[in-house]
Copies of this chain bind each other. A is one copy, B any other.
Amino acid sequence: MSNVIPLKSDKASVPNGLAALNAHVEKGMAEVNAVIIDKMQSDVALIPQLASHIIAAGGKRLRPMLTLSAAQLCNYRGNRHVALAACVEFIHTATLLHDDVVDESDLRRGNATANAVFGNQASVLVGDFLFSRAFELMVADGSLEVLAILSRASAVIAEGEVMQLITTNDTETTEDAYLDVISSKTAALFAAACRVGGVVAEAPRPEIEALDSYGRNLGVAFQLVDDALDYSSREATLGKSIGDDFKEGKITLPIVLAFRRGSEDERNFWRRCLEDLDQRDGDLEVAIELMERHRALDDTIERARHYGAKARDALELFPDSDLKTALNEAVAFTIERAY
């Protein structure tokens, strides 16, 4: 347990829209953070240095919050959900590290990415370490059902990332193909995070399925909004840069809609920018203008509302409670952060 690197306080990074949910899981999340700090340690000092760079950078910690709150919604009284929530965050962090290498990203949440600071090589290997560590934690928990859920989710995430790689620069990508990508790369872990909470609580199957459905639909809504935000202009408030997807030629729903709704001239613009990656000054502004003209951003958010509604309906199986209300508010936050 050498080289202990502290995380900065996470309170600051909880947005208002998640405050109610956070209040319900605050004590558990403090324990989750302690597990994360403990388990990212290694005698190889570069590992906790790099891991803490990305983990401490904050983020909403939405996925482990979902594991804790799903367990609580099922009246779980034990403590296994804490370590498993940390596993979920480790898997997420490992995929972020590898994503940033694959995307050659320099910025994440307004901070330099781990690969920008420590190099691609270290990011790939520390991602592997965190992923292995997540499985060690699960093995220590001892539930084969949980291991099955999270190993399956991990394989599906990797499949989704490969699918995304294939659709990159392909302006013919359909909305359904895009949905396959985000269902795999994002929603699978949201679903698994929630399902694990129900499983440790030994909830009845219909409740576990409802939690899975809540997480899955929330995850799709989350990614849709994220993809719209990549073309919105609230860079300063979000600590996000805009236009990253455009620069990489990543095909997201705003592009899919604008391309399909556009004229042949417009389609040639999209092909030049996204297929040939021949981008000039002002192209991003033109892209955003075309998206606005064709309501591509608004309709991406509208699609997100559809999945948000499904997420809320999935929770209707549970009796009303403050926690259920907070989980519904998390759906609303996920979508409304677009404004």
Contact = CB atoms under 8 A, between A and B. Distances in A.
Interface of A: 42-44, 46-47, 94-95, 98, 101-102, 120-122, 124-126, 128-129, 131-133, 135-136, 138-139, 142, 144, 147-148, 151-152, 154-155, 157-159, 161-163, 165-166
A168 B178 CA distance: 41
A162 B142 CA distance: 28
A138 B133 CA distance: 16
B128 A158 contact: yes
Contacts of A133: 155
Most buried by B among A46, A47, A98, A124: A124
A159 B98 contact: no
A312 to B, nearest CB: 30
A161 B187 CA distance: 31
Given A102-B120, A129-B159, A136-B152, 17 more contacts: A42-B159, A44-B159, A44-B163, A47-B159, A94-B128, A98-B124, A98-B128, A101-B120, A102-B124, A122-B162, A124-B124, A125-B162, A128-B154, A128-B161, A132-B151, A132-B157, A139-B147
Contacts of A132: 151, 154-155, 157-158
Rank and list the top 3 A-B pairs by shortest CB-CB distance, nearest first: A129-B158, A132-B154, A132-B155
Copies of this chain present in the complex amount to: 2
A125 B158 contact: yes
Nearest to A133: B155
B122 A148 contact: no
A318 B72 CA distance: 53
A125 B102 contact: yes
Contact of A131 (B101, B131, B159): B131
11 contacts: A42-B159, A43-B159, A44-B159, A47-B162, A128-B154, A131-B131, A132-B151, A136-B148, A136-B151, A136-B155, A142-B144
Contacts of A154: 128, 131-132, 135
B121 A165 contact: yes
B124 A101 contact: yes
Contact of A166 (B46, B147, B166): B46
Nearest to A131: B131
Contacts of A163: 44
A317 B5 CA distance: 45
A30 to B, nearest CB: 25
Of the listed residues A94, A158, A163, the one surrounded by the most CB atoms of chain B closer than 10 A to its CB is A158
